[in-house]
Amino acid sequence: MIEANVIPVFVNRGSFIELSGRERAQALFDKGTWRELVGPFDRVVSPWLPMQGVAPQFDDGCIVIKGKISGKPAVAISLEGAFQGGSIGEVSGAKMVAALDLATIDSRNGKPTAAILLLETGGVRLQEANLGLAAIAEVIASILELRQYAPVITVIAGTVGCFGGMALAAGVSSYVVMTREARLGLNGPEVIEQESGKDEFDASDRALIWSIHGGEQRVEMGLADDLVEDSLHGVGSAVQRFVRAGKPTQHRSEQVELYRRRIVALDASSQIDPLALREQWKSLNSKERTR
Protein backbone atom coordinates (compact mmCIF):
# COMPACT_ATOMS: atom_id res chain seq x y z
CA MET A 1 0.00 0.00 0.00
CA ILE A 2 1.23 3.43 -0.87
CA GLU A 3 -0.01 4.98 2.41
CA ALA A 4 2.11 2.63 4.48
CA ASN A 5 5.25 4.05 2.95
CA VAL A 6 4.51 7.60 4.02
CA ILE A 7 3.68 6.76 7.62
CA PRO A 8 6.80 7.42 9.68
CA VAL A 9 8.42 4.29 11.14
CA PHE A 10 7.83 5.32 14.76
CA VAL A 11 4.07 5.26 14.24
CA ASN A 12 4.10 1.58 13.37
CA ARG A 13 6.79 0.36 15.68
CA GLY A 14 4.49 0.31 18.74
CA SER A 15 5.92 2.33 21.58
CA PHE A 16 6.63 0.38 24.79
CA ILE A 17 6.76 3.50 26.96
CA GLU A 18 3.23 4.49 26.00
CA LEU A 19 1.89 1.23 27.47
CA SER A 20 0.62 1.01 31.05
CA GLY A 21 2.50 -1.09 33.57
CA ARG A 22 0.03 -3.94 33.02
CA GLU A 23 0.22 -3.79 29.22
CA ARG A 24 4.02 -3.77 29.36
CA ALA A 25 4.08 -6.98 31.38
CA GLN A 26 1.47 -8.67 29.18
CA ALA A 27 3.35 -7.75 26.00
CA LEU A 28 6.41 -9.79 27.02
CA PHE A 29 4.72 -13.22 27.13
CA ASP A 30 4.06 -15.86 24.52
CA LYS A 31 0.45 -15.58 23.35
CA GLY A 32 -2.11 -17.39 25.47
CA THR A 33 0.40 -18.53 28.11
CA TRP A 34 -0.01 -15.91 30.81
CA ARG A 35 -2.21 -15.01 33.74
CA GLU A 36 -2.15 -12.13 36.20
CA LEU A 37 -1.80 -13.04 39.89
CA VAL A 38 -3.26 -11.07 42.81
CA GLY A 39 -4.79 -8.73 40.26
CA PRO A 40 -7.12 -5.77 40.69
CA PHE A 41 -10.20 -8.01 41.19
CA ASP A 42 -8.58 -9.42 44.32
CA ARG A 43 -8.55 -5.89 45.72
CA VAL A 44 -5.48 -6.29 47.91
CA VAL A 45 -4.87 -2.65 48.77
CA SER A 46 -2.58 -0.57 50.92
CA PRO A 47 -4.04 -0.13 54.41
CA TRP A 48 -1.88 2.95 55.00
CA LEU A 49 -2.88 5.25 52.13
CA PRO A 50 -6.58 5.71 53.07
CA MET A 51 -5.51 6.61 56.63
CA GLN A 52 -3.71 9.56 55.05
CA GLY A 53 -6.44 10.60 52.66
CA VAL A 54 -4.82 9.03 49.60
CA ALA A 55 -6.95 6.79 47.35
CA PRO A 56 -5.48 3.30 47.15
CA GLN A 57 -5.41 1.27 43.94
CA PHE A 58 -6.70 -2.30 43.67
CA ASP A 59 -3.33 -3.63 42.49
CA ASP A 60 -1.26 -1.28 44.70
CA GLY A 61 0.64 -0.28 41.56
CA CYS A 62 2.33 -3.68 41.22
CA ILE A 63 1.30 -6.08 38.45
CA VAL A 64 2.45 -9.71 38.60
CA ILE A 65 2.04 -11.90 35.52
CA LYS A 66 3.13 -15.52 35.21
CA GLY A 67 3.48 -17.40 31.95
CA LYS A 68 6.01 -18.34 29.29
CA ILE A 69 8.56 -16.31 27.39
CA SER A 70 10.26 -18.04 24.46
CA GLY A 71 8.64 -21.21 25.78
CA LYS A 72 10.32 -20.90 29.18
CA PRO A 73 8.59 -20.33 32.55
CA ALA A 74 8.78 -16.69 33.61
CA VAL A 75 7.18 -14.14 35.89
CA ALA A 76 6.99 -10.42 35.16
CA ILE A 77 6.64 -7.91 37.98
CA SER A 78 5.73 -4.46 36.73
CA LEU A 79 5.55 -1.23 38.72
CA GLU A 80 3.00 1.28 37.47
CA GLY A 81 4.80 4.61 37.36
CA ALA A 82 1.50 6.48 37.11
CA PHE A 83 0.39 5.36 40.61
CA GLN A 84 2.26 7.14 43.41
CA GLY A 85 5.34 7.37 41.21
CA GLY A 86 5.72 3.59 41.12
CA SER A 87 6.68 3.71 44.77
CA ILE A 88 7.10 0.60 46.92
CA GLY A 89 4.67 0.15 49.77
CA GLU A 90 3.89 -2.76 52.06
CA VAL A 91 1.55 -4.55 49.63
CA SER A 92 3.32 -3.84 46.34
CA GLY A 93 6.59 -4.87 47.99
CA ALA A 94 5.08 -8.06 49.41
CA LYS A 95 3.70 -8.99 45.97
CA MET A 96 7.16 -8.57 44.45
CA VAL A 97 8.89 -10.56 47.16
CA ALA A 98 6.31 -13.36 47.06
CA ALA A 99 6.54 -13.70 43.26
CA LEU A 100 10.35 -13.78 43.38
CA ASP A 101 10.34 -16.37 46.18
CA LEU A 102 7.85 -18.59 44.33
CA ALA A 103 10.02 -18.40 41.21
CA THR A 104 12.96 -19.48 43.40
CA ILE A 105 11.02 -22.46 44.77
CA ASP A 106 10.02 -23.56 41.25
CA SER A 107 13.61 -23.08 40.06
CA ARG A 108 14.99 -25.18 42.91
CA ASN A 109 12.46 -27.88 42.03
CA GLY A 110 13.83 -28.23 38.54
CA LYS A 111 11.70 -25.62 36.75
CA PRO A 112 13.98 -22.61 36.26
CA THR A 113 11.72 -19.55 36.26
CA ALA A 114 13.11 -16.23 35.08
CA ALA A 115 11.89 -12.96 36.59
CA ILE A 116 11.47 -9.78 34.59
CA LEU A 117 11.25 -6.61 36.67
CA LEU A 118 9.69 -3.64 34.89
CA LEU A 119 10.88 -0.84 37.11
CA GLU A 120 9.41 2.66 36.90
CA THR A 121 9.85 3.88 40.43
CA GLY A 122 11.22 6.53 42.74
CA GLY A 123 11.80 3.95 45.49
CA VAL A 124 10.15 3.94 48.92
CA ARG A 125 6.54 5.16 49.20
CA LEU A 126 6.95 7.78 51.89
CA GLN A 127 3.41 7.30 53.25
CA GLU A 128 4.48 3.77 54.19
CA ALA A 129 8.06 4.77 54.93
CA ASN A 130 9.64 2.03 57.03
CA LEU A 131 7.51 -0.78 55.59
CA GLY A 132 8.53 0.39 52.10
CA LEU A 133 12.22 0.45 52.99
CA ALA A 134 11.94 -2.97 54.63
CA ALA A 135 10.18 -4.30 51.52
CA ILE A 136 13.01 -3.07 49.31
CA ALA A 137 15.57 -4.83 51.51
CA GLU A 138 13.50 -8.01 51.09
CA VAL A 139 13.17 -7.51 47.31
CA ILE A 140 16.97 -7.29 47.07
CA ALA A 141 17.34 -10.43 49.21
CA SER A 142 14.84 -12.35 47.08
CA ILE A 143 16.48 -11.30 43.79
CA LEU A 144 19.80 -12.55 45.16
CA GLU A 145 18.19 -15.93 46.00
CA LEU A 146 16.54 -16.34 42.60
CA ARG A 147 19.48 -15.30 40.46
CA GLN A 148 21.43 -18.33 41.70
CA TYR A 149 19.05 -20.47 39.62
CA ALA A 150 17.47 -18.30 36.93
CA PRO A 151 18.09 -14.88 35.37
CA VAL A 152 16.53 -11.76 36.88
CA ILE A 153 16.09 -9.22 34.10
CA THR A 154 15.39 -5.59 34.92
CA VAL A 155 13.78 -3.47 32.23
CA ILE A 156 13.80 0.31 32.65
CA ALA A 157 11.87 1.77 29.74
CA GLY A 158 10.93 5.21 31.02
CA THR A 159 9.78 7.73 31.60
CA VAL A 160 9.77 7.66 35.42
CA GLY A 161 13.11 5.86 35.56
CA CYS A 162 14.47 3.72 38.38
CA PHE A 163 15.66 5.56 41.49
CA GLY A 164 16.03 5.23 45.25
CA GLY A 165 16.27 1.82 46.85
CA MET A 166 14.96 0.11 43.73
CA ALA A 167 18.15 1.16 41.92
CA LEU A 168 19.84 -1.45 44.14
CA ALA A 169 17.35 -4.02 42.83
CA ALA A 170 18.50 -3.12 39.31
CA GLY A 171 22.10 -3.28 40.55
CA VAL A 172 21.79 -6.88 41.76
CA SER A 173 19.86 -8.04 38.68
CA SER A 174 21.43 -10.45 36.18
CA TYR A 175 20.76 -8.11 33.25
CA VAL A 176 19.53 -4.55 32.83
CA VAL A 177 17.75 -3.44 29.65
CA MET A 178 17.21 0.29 29.07
CA THR A 179 15.88 2.63 26.40
CA ARG A 180 17.32 6.06 25.66
CA GLU A 181 14.32 7.53 27.50
CA ALA A 182 15.10 5.59 30.70
CA ARG A 183 17.15 6.74 33.67
CA LEU A 184 18.89 4.80 36.44
CA GLY A 185 20.49 6.12 39.62
CA LEU A 186 20.36 6.00 43.42
CA ASN A 187 19.43 9.67 43.82
CA GLY A 188 17.31 11.59 41.36
CA PRO A 189 18.40 15.13 40.37
CA GLU A 190 15.72 16.85 42.48
CA VAL A 191 16.81 14.98 45.59
CA ILE A 192 20.47 15.89 45.10
CA GLU A 193 19.64 19.54 44.45
CA GLN A 194 17.48 19.61 47.57
CA GLU A 195 20.05 17.91 49.80
CA SER A 196 23.31 19.29 48.44
CA GLY A 197 22.35 22.45 46.57
CA LYS A 198 22.05 23.66 43.00
CA ASP A 199 25.82 23.90 42.61
CA GLU A 200 26.08 20.17 43.19
CA PHE A 201 23.26 19.28 40.81
CA ASP A 202 21.05 21.61 38.79
CA ALA A 203 17.86 19.57 38.45
CA SER A 204 16.61 21.83 35.65
CA ASP A 205 19.62 21.00 33.46
CA ARG A 206 18.17 18.26 31.29
CA ALA A 207 21.35 17.67 29.32
CA LEU A 208 23.24 17.08 32.57
CA ILE A 209 20.59 14.65 33.85
CA TRP A 210 20.62 12.52 30.71
CA SER A 211 24.39 12.59 30.43
CA ILE A 212 24.61 10.99 33.89
CA HIS A 213 21.49 8.85 34.42
CA GLY A 214 20.37 8.20 30.82
CA GLY A 215 20.10 4.73 29.30
CA GLU A 216 22.72 5.33 26.65
CA GLN A 217 25.28 6.46 29.24
CA ARG A 218 24.55 3.57 31.63
CA VAL A 219 24.86 0.95 28.89
CA GLU A 220 28.00 2.47 27.36
CA MET A 221 29.64 2.61 30.80
CA GLY A 222 28.88 -1.06 31.34
CA LEU A 223 26.47 -0.38 34.22
CA ALA A 224 23.57 -1.79 32.16
CA ASP A 225 23.58 -4.45 29.45
CA ASP A 226 21.43 -3.54 26.51
CA LEU A 227 20.20 -0.30 24.95
CA VAL A 228 17.01 -0.89 23.00
CA GLU A 229 14.67 1.33 21.04
CA ASP A 230 11.34 2.24 22.54
CA SER A 231 9.28 -0.43 20.83
CA LEU A 232 7.52 -3.67 21.69
CA HIS A 233 9.97 -5.45 19.46
CA GLY A 234 13.03 -3.73 20.91
CA VAL A 235 12.21 -4.50 24.54
CA GLY A 236 10.54 -7.85 23.85
CA SER A 237 13.39 -9.34 21.85
CA ALA A 238 16.00 -8.23 24.41
CA VAL A 239 13.99 -9.87 27.20
CA GLN A 240 13.60 -13.07 25.16
CA ARG A 241 17.31 -13.15 24.46
CA PHE A 242 18.23 -12.85 28.15
CA VAL A 243 15.60 -15.40 29.22
CA ARG A 244 17.16 -17.86 26.75
CA ALA A 245 20.70 -16.94 27.85
CA GLY A 246 19.96 -17.99 31.44
CA LYS A 247 21.92 -16.72 34.42
CA PRO A 248 25.35 -15.18 33.78
CA THR A 249 28.47 -16.84 35.21
CA GLN A 250 29.18 -13.73 37.26
CA HIS A 251 26.86 -10.92 38.27
CA ARG A 252 27.85 -7.28 38.00
CA SER A 253 27.35 -6.64 41.73
CA GLU A 254 29.86 -9.44 42.47
CA GLN A 255 32.62 -7.68 40.52
CA VAL A 256 33.75 -5.82 43.59
CA GLU A 257 37.49 -5.71 42.93
CA LEU A 258 37.05 -4.40 39.42
CA TYR A 259 34.83 -1.50 40.47
CA ARG A 260 36.76 -0.81 43.64
CA ARG A 261 39.90 -0.29 41.54
CA ARG A 262 38.02 2.05 39.24
CA ILE A 263 36.81 4.17 42.15
CA VAL A 264 40.36 4.33 43.57
CA ALA A 265 41.49 5.62 40.18
CA LEU A 266 38.78 8.32 40.00
CA ASP A 267 39.87 11.93 40.19
CA ALA A 268 37.35 13.40 42.63
CA SER A 269 38.97 16.83 42.96
CA SER A 270 36.28 18.30 40.72
CA GLN A 271 33.03 17.12 39.14
CA ILE A 272 33.53 14.17 36.82
CA ASP A 273 32.86 14.65 33.11
CA PRO A 274 30.31 11.92 32.29
CA LEU A 275 31.47 11.52 28.68
CA ALA A 276 35.14 11.24 29.59
CA LEU A 277 34.39 8.65 32.29
CA ARG A 278 32.23 6.72 29.86
CA GLU A 279 35.04 6.55 27.29
CA GLN A 280 37.52 5.54 29.97
CA TRP A 281 35.38 2.75 31.41
CA LYS A 282 34.39 1.62 27.94
CA SER A 283 37.99 1.03 26.99
CA LEU A 284 38.61 -0.68 30.36
CA ASN A 285 35.55 -2.88 29.76
CA SER A 286 37.04 -4.18 26.55
CA LYS A 287 40.38 -4.87 28.23
CA GLU A 288 39.22 -6.25 31.57
CA ARG A 289 37.02 -9.26 31.65
CA THR A 290 33.73 -7.52 32.31
CA ARG A 291 30.53 -9.20 31.47
Site for other proteins in 67-106 (CB under 8 A): 67, 90-91, 93-95, 97-99, 102
Any residues with CB less than 8 A from the CB of 31 and at least 6 apart, and which? Answer: none
Find the binder of other proteins among 63, 76, 124, 235 (CB under 8 A): 124
Instruction: Please pick, from the candidates 79, 153, 182, 184, the single residue that binds other proteins as defined by CB under 8 A.
Output: 184
Q: Which of 241, 96, 66 is nearest to 165 (CA)?
A: 96
User: Residue 14 Cβ, how far from other proteins at the closest point, in Å?
Assistant: 26
185/234 with CB nearer other proteins: 185
Q: Is 279 in the site for other proteins (CB under 8 A)?
A: no
Among 55, 82, 245, 272, binds other proteins (CB under 8 A): 272
CB of 59 to other proteins, least distance (A): 10
Q: Is 112 in the site for other proteins (CB under 8 A)?
A: no
| Beta-bridge mates of residue 66 | 35, 75
**Coil, strand or helix: which one is 181?**
coil
Of the ranges 9-17, 18-26, 136-144, 232-240, which one interacts with other proteins (CB under 8 A)? Answer: 136-144
Out of 17, 27, 232, 277, which residue is the one contacting other proteins (CB under 8 A)? 277
- For other proteins, the closer of residues 191 and 232 by Cβ is 191
Contacts 24+ apart (CB under 8 A), 29-35: 29/65, 29/67, 29/68, 29/69, 29/74, 29/76, 30/67, 30/68, 30/69, 30/70, 30/71, 33/67, 33/68, 34/65, 34/66, 34/67, 34/68, 35/65, 35/66, 35/67
Q: Are 68 and 33 spatial neighbours (Cβ–Cβ below 8 Å)?
A: yes
How many residues bind to other proteins according to rule CB under 8 A?
83
